[in-house]
Structure formats: structure tokens, C-alpha cells
Amino acid sequence: MEITIGGMKTLESGIGGEALELMGINIFGSFWSILLTAVAVFFLISSLIWMIKVYPKKPRTGVKWNSDCEFQSKAVIDGDDVTFFNVRDFFWRTTKDRDEKWDEKITVNVNEIKDVWFVVDHFHKIHGLAHTFLTIEFNDGTCLSFSFEARRIKGQRYHPWDGMWRNYELFLLVGHERDLLGLRTNARGNKDYMFRAITPPGKEKQLVFGLAKSINSLIENPIWYHSILTTCNTSIVKLVNKVTPGRIPFFLRNFLPGYTPKVAFKLALIEDWGGFENTLDKARIDEKAMLWDGKGDYSQMIRTHLPAKKSSTSENK
């Protein structure tokens, strides 16, 4: 149908996919052309900025780091013993009120590993944005947490957008569980889940050795943190696949740590505590952690609220 005013065609609409025109301009065609051009220009400019300003950046040395990531851990492997140096042991009352302490060294024996725990910390209202880390529990009650994080200079705050542009180094923090998990459950008040990992026989030892080697590698060859490609979770996936090749296949959810529990459950990477929803419910520990009085054993207390280890775990692949 055509509408004309004073002999001029002003609007033409077609049927079955014909173009809509206004004053002789193809509206839909122009919109998509403009949109595609804008996207192309954006990516071109971003690529130029990356190549000129971002890519040449080198990991920083000789700078003053934030106190919570001030010291870089290192590890020494001696047979079945592994000694970790600069182990963080902060006591958090709030995010700003804390007692700072670093243990000079902690020595553990891989034959004394009791459990491996996978922790998911939801720090953002967007469900997919979360932090993941591992805790290794030993028979003597020692619980060491290993967390791949963004290392920040003094006064610098973390933001996912900044992490896209080489603003943080990748940092493997080693600390007591009462520090790394307690910060998130009690000081920040985040929603946190703790799953017992299923490891093939002997692989838990290789996992600790792999963590030790990763710590030393980051000292010798520092790399940049990236909010999508080199994160807490992608670093764990990479490490697990080194220990057991192909154990975690490629999933887009690997880039959104908040969704990893479902993937881990389907892949039998974590124990089944009565179906996924029940497992998720039983794994939530932040509400229980808030009951801690700050004096007793934090790790022991939260484990009283978690299911006992299944005897068949060691038989899983």
C-alpha cells in the first residue's frame, strides 16, 4: 500500500518480507547497516587500543601491593612433603577491621590428605559472577586454601572490566581456610558453597604437587589475569586437566564460575548428596559459618554441618 501527499511517496510497506521505506530510505536495511558498522568500528578501535596500549604491558615488579596480597607464596617439594612459604592467616572482623599475619612456612605431607574441597563464592548479584577456589584438608586438621586471584597494587580495587585490560597480575594465594573462606562468609556476608571433590586414587597428591608448581611458575614467569580467559576458575580447570587430561571438557560455563556446581555435579567431580538440588542445599555454608564465635576451630565447625564422606568416594573415577 502506498500513501502519497502532494504526489510524493512517503511510506511504502510490503508483504512477505518487503522493505519498509520512509522518504525513500530503507529503514530496516539502514538500521542493520548502521549497527553492523558501529560494531565493526568498536572492535577495530578496541583491537588497536589492545595492540598499542595493552599488549605491550609487562607484569609489574617493584611496586607496593595491597596488604592482603603483599607476599607471594613459594613452594618446596621434598619427596612427599611440600612446604609452602608466606601462608596468609588473617583474622577478619569486617572487611576493614582485621588482624594481619603471614605464616613463614607450613609443611604438609601429601599422604595425609583427607579431603579436597571445591568452594564457590557468590560475590555479585549476577549469578554467573563468582569466585572459586580449592581447599586441601589434612588428617591433622590443617586446611589450606589455594585461590587464583587478581593481584592489586596498593589502593587498587578489583573490577571485572579492568581485568580485561591487563590491570592485574594472576596471583595464587595460599592461606588458611579460616582466612580465605572466613573473609567471604563472615566479613563480606557472601553466599558460599562447599563441595567435597571426587578425585581418582592418587590424583589428590598430584593436585597438591601441581598447585606447588603453579605457585613457583607464577614467580618465575608472571602472567596477566584476564576476567574471562585467565581467572580463578579457568586456572583450576587447567590444573585439573593437567593432573587428569580431559577430565573437564570445554564448557562455556567454565567462564561463568557461578554456574560451575551444576557442571561439576554432572561430571561427577563432586559428591552427590541426594540429587543436585539437595547437594546444593547441603553445600551452602555461609549461614552456618556466621555461627562461629571467632575463638574455636572455624574449619571444624563448618564441617559439622556438611555430610560425612562417602566410603565409595575413592572408588569413583
Question: pLDDT by residue (tens digit) across 213-237?
Answer: 999 999 999 999 999 999 999 999 9
Neighbours of 73 (CB within 10 A): 24
Report the b/e string of 83-107 with b at 16+ CB within 10 A: bbbbbbebbbeeeeebeeeeeeebe
Neighbours of 239 (CB within 10 A): 20
Checking if the pLDDT of 28 tops 70, the result is: no
Q: Give the span between the Cα atoms of 91 and 86, in whole angstroms.
A: 16
User: Rounded CA gap, 205 and 248, in Å?
Assistant: 18
pTM across the whole model? 0.84
User: Using 50, 70 and 90 to split pLDDT, how confident is the model at 122?
Assistant: very high
225's CB contacts (< 8 A; 6+ apart) are 149, 150, 151, 163, 168, 169, 170, 171, 231
Per the prediction, the chain carries an average pLDDT of 89
Q: Is the pLDDT reported for residue 247 higher than 50? A: yes
Summarize the confidence of residues 57-65 as an average pLDDT.
89
Domain ranges for the chain: 2-54, 67-315
- Give the total residue count for the chain: 317
Tens of pLDDT, residue by residue over 85-108, are 999 999 999 999 999 999 999 999
Do residues 137 and 143 touch, judged by C-beta distance below 8 A? yes
Question: Residue 219: how many CB atoms within 10 A of its CB?
Answer: 12
